[in-house]
Structure 1
Amino acid sequence: MKRELGLLDATLLVAGGMIGSGIFIVSADITRNVGSAGWLLAVWLLGGFMTLTAALSYGELSGMYPKAGGQYIYLKEAFNPLIAFVYGWSLFAVIQTGTIAAVGVSFSKFLSYFIPQVADDLVLFQWGTWSVSPAQLLAIGLICFLTYINTRGVKGGKWVQTIFTSTKVFSIMVLILLGFLIYKSEVWDLNWQDAWQLQKRDRAGTLSGYPSAPAWWGGLAAGMVGAIMSYEAWNNVTFVASEINNPRRNIGLSLLLGTLLVTLLYVAINLMFLYVLPITEIAGAAKDRVGIAASEVILGSSGTILISVMILISTFGCNNGLILAGARVYYSMAQDGLFFKKTAQLNKHAVPAFALWIQAAMASLLCLTGKYGDLLDMITFVVVIFYVLTIVGIYILRVKKPLHERPYRAIGYPILPALYILMGVAFCVLLIIFKPTYTWPGFFISALGIPLYYWVKRRAPSY
């Protein structure tokens, strides 16, 4: 693999993979779960704190093992190949591919503002209860196009990422600034009445309290699901470690800079929402499109056009980063004999082209099922579990390999990593108790990796 990614490229890969369409949408669902302005911001701050803490912890692991595959490698070194395989399988089955599918269809949905013929509510053909929309086919086309660009070498994918991530970060900053400039004191003051009363709020604005303290915590955990998924994919830069210049330094630094940038943007844009929209309108935004509602207040009817263009840019760049990074994990698994043998091969451009194409095939299949959104909700639990396990790995490796070179040590060790572990476990336990629909299906998908691992191991000599 060619080391063609510098610190700026790596930082933009972190930020670009995180910023999709979620930040313009999920605040509506969060507000319905927590019910007030203070808790809306608290959820975003808490999600950002967790992400920053995890990123600072991953810096130590990235310095120890600057290899393609990133988190897969860390889990293998700290625990065993089984846990690493289950992570890689979950990534291929739904985490990475499901996100690629969901972001691709989101791109199509917002393109339909300009080209109505690609709307997701149109049906091209139907077979029983299964139907295919133009949006799904366009999403598949987008996935294949970006996959092709990335098979031509990491340099092409890098430029797409740099251009689109820079553009969307600048656009979001401009939108935030415009929102602050039309500050409406009456809206802001209204939103901060009973700002710390955590309660349910329906689309019509009706409030209902949580019946007990445990239910209160369950509501907070449910509200955090959307925020955590919006912060998701920050770890993708670790997957491309073999293509980053000076990886022992630049991966950890890019994790810090990228996650800090996105946290600041996410908190600022939610402050802007509270400047221009009453809390009832945030919770009841049509199709949860809070970004469009805010843009229309700021810019009138042209706001819909602006936010649609921003989301098109955002989702295009986001998907490029996800596609570029994910294939490197399957490449590393194949080198260990745990994936298709051909996946371990690089093409003439020094990239794992076969891994890129099978990832595209799986993501396209999820596009056609129409269940990508449900799968992403279900997998939130599993994503956090793997983050927790990986950070536990820091403590394990400090004991197992105390003399291993560590050019970068986890900031705040042992306190900050332990705090993330406690927060992650608490989040998962609350979801198990109060939102089982978010947990057991995702857990089942990941658990399928256990028998699959032993099946693959038996077949390993034939690979």
Structure 2
Amino acid sequence: MHTDPKQNEDMKRELGLLDATMLVAGSMIGSGIFIVSSDIVRNVGSAGWLIFIWLVTGLITIIAATSYGELSAMFPKAGGQYVYLREAYNRMVAFLYGWSLFMVIQAGTIAAVGVAFAKFTAYIFPTLGDDHILWDLGLVEINAAQLVAIVTIVILTWVNSRGVKNGKIIQTVFTVVKILSLGGLIVMGLFGAFNAEIWSANWSTAWDTVRWDTSGVVVSIGGAAVFAGIVSAMVGSIFSSDAWNNVTFIAGEIRNPKRNIGMSLFLGTLIVTIIYVSANLMYLATLSMEQIAHAPADRVAVAAAQAIFGQVGTLVIAVMIMISTFGCNNGLILAGARVYYTMAQDGLFFKKAGELNKFEVPGWGLWAQCIWTSVLCLTGRYGDLLNYVVFVVLIFYALTIIGVFTLRRKRPDIERPYKAFGYPVLPIVYVLAAFTICIGLLIYQPTFTWPGLVIVLLGIPVFFMWNKRYETA
């Protein structure tokens, strides 16, 4: 039987239900909702399928989040999903998740969100764009957007290294502002700038199964091509809905975690699902299918805001995305280091990462995450890395939810103050849906799958190295 190492006793439980819910919602809402609907429409072609993709994504996300509620109540400790995998399976499975999180999932997401912040800052200050090359070092070009991204990541790391209370204030304020601003944009689009002609045209072909190619030609599809289109489209919607599990990483700092983590997971994912579906209805009320499919640089929210506000709409969206991505990165930075803290406590990461600084937060882990994230920003390869790990993220989510079943069999004695909603049917639905999407990705999007698996497998020899050191210590 695995016994937890002594941990969390020095962490301050500063976060309440509102803070935890804002962390869930704020970590989920980055730049994806402003962009990925263009790619979804190119893959599935029509209004009904666009909304279907977002509804299915929202539904399976809520199912996963409510299933995690049971695990969070059983193990209300720092590390969250890493701990659940360790308890349900073994140290190696947990390490491979933590390894993937540090190397790509968390760091790559922080880098991508940081550069998105910088790119939209360039709408207001053009010299800060990615087309402004500062240094050409041969193999690597460093542009202004990368530098802005790194500066924001360093600032947020510094703020969070000085206590969880600082991070919580930024998270709650920025998340409330972005929810209100997104809500205002949706209301303006659906009621203030509603275009009945466009709306009717979009819904007149709501369930046509077509694909838009890059030249604007509409190609009818059927059979396997429809499934391929849905799977490809869901890469964007799933990634836009990811990071909801970050709240489990900071369980050691949440008050009444057995109740508040499960509640925050449900409330946060529900809020974001409603916002995402409503935003896409707003796009359909203001833009034709062709305009959504071929929005310049996929910035469909910019095109919608221009339809609502005129040319000033570009600035409106730029400011909204700056607020959204800044708040999103704060949550990601705050949460990630708690996993490395727990890994270090298990002897599976650098020892210093398992120590708290004078502000009772894992400062060393925060700065290690910051340095690696900055390297990814400079390489410019974070976008590719994120595409690779959508497949891996789904596998780890499915394994964690299977862990609900495993732990009910292995550890029936553990108190379960909260139980997975709809058990066993809904958790099984999620696992089946996740594996169906993974199989589809293996078949139709192999470039999104095999590199991700390679990243995970590279962690196996690293695990044995760390584990040998732990056993001989």
TM-score relative to the length of structure 2: 0.96
Q: Does 1:10 align with 2:6?
A: no
Q: Distance in 2 between matches of 1:301 and 1:203?
A: 25
Q: 2:406 aligned with 1:404, yes or no?
A: no
Q: Give RMSD over aligned pairs.
A: 1.0
What's the CA shift string for 1:61-109, capped at 9, x where partnerless?
0000000000000000000000000000000000000000000000000
The equivalent residue for 2:429 is 419
Instruction: Tell me if the contact between 1:78 and 1:397 (Cα under 8 Å) persists in the aligned partners.
Output: yes
- Report the CA distance between 1:129 and its aligned residue: 4.1
How many residues are aligned here? 462
The letter of the residue matching 1:11 is T
1:236 aligns with 2:250: no
CA distance in 2, matches of 1:222, 1:199: 14
Question: SS in structure 2 opposite 1:346?
Answer: coil
- The TM-score, its normalising length taken from structure 1, stands at 0.98
Q: Which residue of 2 aligns with 1:277?
A: 287
Structure 2: distance between partners of 1:41 and 1:133: 37
Distance of 2:216 and 2:202 partners within structure 1: 13
Q: Which residue of 2 aligns with 1:226?
A: 236
For 2:81, give the aligned amino acid: Q
Percent of aligned positions with the same letter in both sequences?
57
CA contact (8 A) 1:204 1:280 kept: no
Q: Which residue of 2 aligns with 1:267?
A: 277
User: Secondary structure of the residue that 2:124 maps to in structure 1?
Assistant: coil
Gaps of 5+ in 2: 1-10
Give me the whole-angstrom Cα distance separating, in 1, the residues matched to 2:65 and 2:101: 18
Matched, 1:313 2:320: no
Q: Distance in 2 between matches of 1:165 and 1:337?
A: 35
1:202–1:284 CA contact under 8 A, matched in 2:
no
Q: Which residue of 1 aligns with 2:306?
A: 296
Unaligned runs of 5+ in 1: none
Provide the rounded CA distance (Å) in 1 between the counterparts of 2:220 and 2:403. 40
What is the 5 A alignment of 1:367-382?
Answer: 367-382=377-392
Cα deviation, residue 205, structure 1: 2.6
1-side partners of 2:352 and 2:164: how far apart?
Answer: 19
1:202 to 209, 213, 228: 213
**2:6 aligns to what?**
none
Q: Which one of 97, 106, 117 corresponds to residue 116 of structure 2?
A: 106
Note the C-alpha offset of 1:130.
2.1
Residue identity in the other structure for 1:300: G
Q: Which of the residues 341, 345, 349 maps onto 2:355?
A: 345
1:187 aligns with 2:206: no
- Asked if residue 130 in structure 1 is aligned to residue 159 in structure 2, the reply is no
Could you tell me how far apart the structure 2 residues matched to 1:462 and 1:343 are? 20
In 1, Cα distance between equivalents of 2:426 and 2:176:
30
- The offset of 1:455, in angstroms, is 1.3
Q: What is the distance in 2 between the residues matched to 1:208 and 1:379?
A: 30
* 1:193-222 deviation digits (Å, cap 9, x = unpaired): 221122211244311233x62232111100
- The Cα shift of 1:461 comes to 5.8
d(CA) in 1 for partners of 2:127, 2:390: 33
2:40 equivalent in structure 1: 30
Aligned-partner residue type, residue 426 of structure 2: L
**2:8 maps to what in 1?**
none
Alignment of 1:355-374 (within 5 A): 355-374=365-384
Amino acid across the alignment from 1:238: T
Deviation at 1:346, TM superposition (A): 0.1
Deviations 1:300-340 (A, max 9, x none): 11111111000000000000000000000000000000000
Instruction: Report the secondary structure of 1:208's partner residue.
Output: strand
Q: Deviations over 1:22-65 (max 9, x none)?
A: 10000001111111111011100010011000001000000000
Does 1:94 pair with 2:104? yes
Contact 1:28 1:285 (8 Å CA) reproduced: yes
| Kept in 2: contact 1:110–1:311 (CA 8 A) | yes
